[in-house]
Amino acid sequence: MRTPLSSPVSDNSPVRDDNATTDGNSTGPHAPDVTDLGNDVFQIDTRMAGYPGITAGYLIRGSRPCLVETGTAPSAPVVRDALRTLGVGPADLASVVVTHIHLDHAGGAGDIAAMYPAAEIVVHNRGARHLADPSRLMASAKMVYGDALDRLFGTLAPVPADRIRALDDVGAVDLGGGRSLASYYSPGHAKHHVGLLDSLSGDLYVGDAAGVYIPDTGDLRPATPPPDFDLSVAVSSVRLFASLEPSRLLFSHYGPATDVAAILERSVEELHVWVAATEGARAAGLDLDHAVAMVREQTRWRYASLADGAPPEVAEKFERISGAASNVGGIWHWLEKADADSGR
């Protein structure tokens, strides 16, 4: 996700964080929100910027406990509290895997590495150096988010290089007891993205490569941010996921979905729809801002979350994690690059 997020209340409000963390959750602002998904898999709400229900991490419990996605740096204490309630202490966590290095997925990597000194931090080799030295990643995020960066994502602390294990295009993470996660390189959303298939459960951790899923409505929307988005590459990654025949998809935004084949088919369709709409806006001579507005309106009917009368907080989830500005901006950037490459 790369789009500036709307604030839940005014940035000047002294009660901002209380509002953000209590909204929609009856268990109180600081109680861990953990959901047992079966097969020793637990979903953890990592509460990016205090928002409930938009960023998920997962613990796979066993003799070698593994965390998938850290959430942001300010999420690290939230994750630690969740792991504690699941019986995983500071010396217990064996591995941490991030599907890619965007800050809503990996921003807590340095903090989590410090909290769990025995854990190996696993990432695709194209992301590894940015976890060891986040300065360039943070500088480019600062350009995108400006003053909102700190509130939304905090600061990714460096991960000691000797704690990082870089994955090639296929790889494996040992979960203990003969169970493992197989990793599959899946670029398109980001060039450092992997999907992870659980050998025991058949769960596939899809990161953002299959888009953003809204469990409240079953909506699926693509996640096509700049600067890496590429249509054919993204479609190939979704096709790769389908070929793995997973039993369930675990979205980082947000949660499990079992209608696997239909959702992955929809994911490909969504990519084509958004690319076609953005191409149409460019062909009509619109600038980017007007293109965003047009594509937002043209695609709106596809999503129950955006229907008249739908709860506004559900619609807001889309804008927070796969905003139209981010999606159209990523497609636009890719189209411009393609034009430049072809000399048009």
Q: Which is nearer to Zn ion, 104 or 111 (CB)?
A: 104
**Part of the chain binding Zn ion (CB under 5 A), chosen from 8-16, 96-104, 136-144, 229-237:** 96-104
Listed in sequence order, the DSSP H helices in 205-311 are 231-243, 260-283, 288-299
* 219 contacts Zn ion (rule: CB under 5 A): no
State in angstroms the smallest separation of the CB of 252 from Zn ion: 6
The answer to whether the CB of 295 falls within 8 A of the CB of 306 is no
**Part of the chain binding Zn ion (CB under 5 A), chosen from 97-105, 187-195, 214-222, 291-299:** 97-105
Secondary structure (3-state) at 97:
strand
* 228 contacts Zn ion (rule: CB under 5 A): no
Q: Which whole-number Å values give the CA distances from 111 to 75, 131, 153, 159, 231, in the listed order?
A: 9, 11, 13, 8, 34
Reply yes or no: is the peptide bond before residue 116 cis, omega within 30 of 0.
Answer: no
Q: Which is nearer to Zn ion, 57 or 171 (CB)?
A: 57
Reply yes or no: is the peptide bond before residue 227 cis, omega within 30 of 0.
Answer: yes
Q: Of 235, 232, 183, whose CA–CA distance to 209 is shortest?
A: 235
State in angstroms the smallest separation of the CB of 301 from Zn ion: 25
> In the set 33, 45, 104, 120, which binds Zn ion (CB under 5 A)?
104
- The radius of gyration of the chain's CA atoms, rounded to the nearest angstrom, is 19
State in angstroms the smallest separation of the CB of 15 from Zn ion: 27
Residues 126-185 that bind Zn ion (CB under 5 A): none
Tokens describing residue 309: 């009368």
Secondary structure (3-state) at 53:
coil
The answer to whether the CB of 91 falls within 8 A of the CB of 118 is yes
Strand partners of residue 43: 35, 58
Report the residue number whose CB is nearest to Zn ion. Answer: 1
Q: Which whole-number Å values give the CA distances from 10 to 48, 149, 294, in the listed order?
A: 17, 16, 27
Q: Which is nearer to Zn ion, 105 or 266 (CB)?
A: 105
Q: Which is nearer to Zn ion, 104 or 270 (CB)?
A: 104
Q: Which is nearer to Zn ion, 5 or 37 (CB)?
A: 5
State in angstroms the smallest separation of the CB of 342 from Zn ion: 30
| Phi-psi category of residue 157: left, alpha or beta, with phi > 0 → left and psi -120 to 50 → alpha | beta
Burial class (CB in 10 A: 0-12, 13-18, 19+), 233: middle
Residues that contact Zn ion, how many (by CB under 5 A):
3
Q: Which is nearer to Zn ion, 180 or 183 (CB)?
A: 183
Residues 196-215 that bind Zn ion (CB under 5 A): 208
**Part of the chain binding Zn ion (CB under 5 A), chosen from 27-35, 100-108, 237-245, 335-343:** 100-108
Q: Which is nearer to Zn ion, 175 or 194 (CB)?
A: 194
Q: Which is nearer to Zn ion, 252 or 299 (CB)?
A: 252
State in angstroms the smallest separation of the CB of 220 from Zn ion: 14
State in angstroms the smallest separation of the CB of 51 from Zn ion: 13
Q: What is the rounded (10 degree) CA torsion for 115, 119, 125, 127?
A: -10
Please give the residue ranges that form the binding site for Zn ion (CB under 5 A).
Answer: 1, 104, 208
